[in-house]
Copies of this chain bind each other. A is one copy, B any other.
Amino acid sequence: MNVIDTNKPKHGVARGPLRTARQHVLALSLGEPAGIGPDIVLVAWLRRNEDQIPPFLAIGDPGCLARRAAALGLDVPLAVATPDDAIATFAHALPVLPAGPEATAAPGRPDASSAAAARIAIETAADLVQSGRVGAIVTNPIAKSVLYEAGFRFPGHTEFLAHLAGEPPLRPVMLLWSEELAVVPATIHVPLAEVPRLLTRDLLIETGRIVAHDYKERFGIPRPRLVVCGLNPHAGEDGTIGREDEEVVRPAVEALRAEGIDARGPLPADTLFHAAARTTYDVAIGAYHDQVLAPIKALAFERAVNVTLGLPFVRTSPDHGTAFDIAGTGRADPRSLIAALKLARRLADAGR
């Protein structure tokens, strides 16, 4: 059935590879070798049966994984593998596709090999998913400062992937997803004082379009329900607490509705995230970082997954950093990575 499905014309064009994403393994980049990426990859593989983790192919230096397993006292057989044999391998060994240099960094101490190891693993994973050899990619955390020192010129993972996905670069949109709540901050890592200027109608409309498109195409929700938070307290109380909600947010929501997107707003953010309210929408677009990330992390810390919308492929990642302070100690929590793997599988399967 899957084979037949994939050959259905899409937008009038028969699709590429004969096999569907459903049959493809997930590519999992190791991230910063000195971070907790290797730790949680090893633990995730050990829990593959009890946690029903979808098969993944680790991308990076097998030696790094072997050394970390030894340091942690974990009995994890490693097998050099390709996307084609990774699923069969996964049952009895952790499949690894060697990529990049030998990653020699000790836990918590990035070294001269770290930046290239992290970067090349991402590039390799992106190549694999774009050529249809893996179903989706999941990325372990990288250390921006380490990459910057090595000349990396992208603000982060997401922008690098957008660059790898096409020229001119696409505009990626960060979704933070959990079973309880899914949110998109329209502005992200900018000073709060700049938010009112940056939160334009065009930004909200473009964000809403990408979210609605990807919820339909990737999550398989035919008519996703979007809500948009007001910028101001109480969504501005009809313009009495700031004008932006009436002058910027409301027109953007109306423009989205005019395009047939089920969007509502501006809505007061403080009353949007309790259990009853959450049943009324699929995804909440916030004006800024803390407005939506504080609630989702209050509700679903360590279970939230970072998803990049707007890319031509599925990419998820755990919602935490390299955690250098606990790398190699056995204290890293693999739950967010496991949630990221499961969601990547679900999106690869639901996607058209």
On chain B, the residues within 8 Å of A194 by CB distance are: 242
Shortest A69–chain B CB gap in Å is 27
Determine whether A193 belongs to the interface, using a CB cutoff of 8 Å to chain B: yes
- Which chain A residues (248-275) contact chain B, with CB distance < 8 Å? 269-275
- Which chain A residues (62-111) contact chain B, with CB distance < 8 Å? none
Residues 271-288 of chain A, each 1 if its beta carbon lies under 8 Å from chain B, else 0: 111111100000000011
On chain B, the residues within 8 Å of A130 by CB distance are: none
Q: How far is it, in angstroms, between the C-alpha of A343 and the C-alpha of B97 when the chains are bound?
A: 59
Instruction: Please tell me if the beta carbons of B293 and A270 are within 8 angstroms of each other in the complex.
Output: yes
Residues 226-249 of chain A, each 1 if its beta carbon lies under 8 Å from chain B, else 0: 000101111011000111100000
Q: How far is it, in angstroms, between the C-alpha of A243 and the C-alpha of B287 when the chains are bound?
A: 20
Chain B residue at minimum C-beta to C-beta distance from A185? B233
Q: How far is it, in angstroms, between the C-alpha of A272 and the C-alpha of B295 when the chains are bound?
A: 10
Q: How far is it, in angstroms, between the C-alpha of A252 and the C-alpha of B288 when the chains are bound?
A: 24
Chain B residue at minimum C-beta to C-beta distance from A292? B294
Instruction: Please tell me if the beta carbons of B233 and A190 are within 8 angstroms of each other in the complex.
Output: yes
Determine whether A291 belongs to the interface, using a CB cutoff of 8 Å to chain B: yes
Determine whether A299 belongs to the interface, using a CB cutoff of 8 Å to chain B: yes
Chain B residue at minimum C-beta to C-beta distance from A230? B290
Shortest A306–chain B CB gap in Å is 13
Q: How far is it, in angstroms, between the C-alpha of A235 and the C-alpha of B274 when the chains are bound?
A: 25
Instruction: Please tell me if the beta carbons of A290 and B275 are within 8 angstroms of each other in the complex.
Output: no
Interface size on A, residues (CB 8 A): 44
On chain B, the residues within 8 Å of A229 by CB distance are: 290
Determine whether A216 belongs to the interface, using a CB cutoff of 8 Å to chain B: no
Asked, given contacts A193-B196, A291-B291, whether A270 binds B297 with beta carbons under 8 Å apart, the answer is: yes
Shortest A176–chain B CB gap in Å is 10
Q: How far is it, in angstroms, between the C-alpha of A33 and the C-alpha of B165 when the chains are bound?
A: 61
Determine whether A301 belongs to the interface, using a CB cutoff of 8 Å to chain B: yes
Shortest A90–chain B CB gap in Å is 32
The listed residue (B276, B287, B297) touching A273 by CB distance below 8 A is: B297
Instruction: Please tell me if the beta carbons of A298 and B301 are within 8 angstroms of each other in the complex.
Output: no
On chain B, the residues within 8 Å of A288 by CB distance are: 192, 233
Determine whether A53 belongs to the interface, using a CB cutoff of 8 Å to chain B: no
On chain B, the residues within 8 Å of A189 by CB distance are: 233-234, 237, 241
Q: How far is it, in angstroms, between the C-alpha of A147 and the C-alpha of B244 when the chains are bound?
A: 27
On chain B, the residues within 8 Å of A291 by CB distance are: 290-291, 294
Q: How far is it, in angstroms, between the C-alpha of A48 and the C-alpha of B290 when the chains are bound?
A: 39
The listed residue (B191, B244, B295) touching A294 by CB distance below 8 A is: B295
> Known pairs A191-B232, A274-B301. 15 more at Cβ < 8 A?
A190-B233, A191-B196, A192-B196, A192-B233, A192-B242, A193-B196, A229-B290, A269-B290, A269-B294, A270-B294, A274-B297, A274-B302, A275-B301, A294-B294, A299-B299
Q: List 10 A-B contacts (CB under 8 A).
A: A190-B233, A192-B232, A192-B244, A192-B287, A193-B244, A194-B242, A269-B294, A272-B294, A290-B290, A298-B298
Q: Top 7 nearest A-B pairs by Cβ distance? A: A191-B242, A274-B301, A273-B298, A233-B289, A270-B293, A193-B196, A295-B298
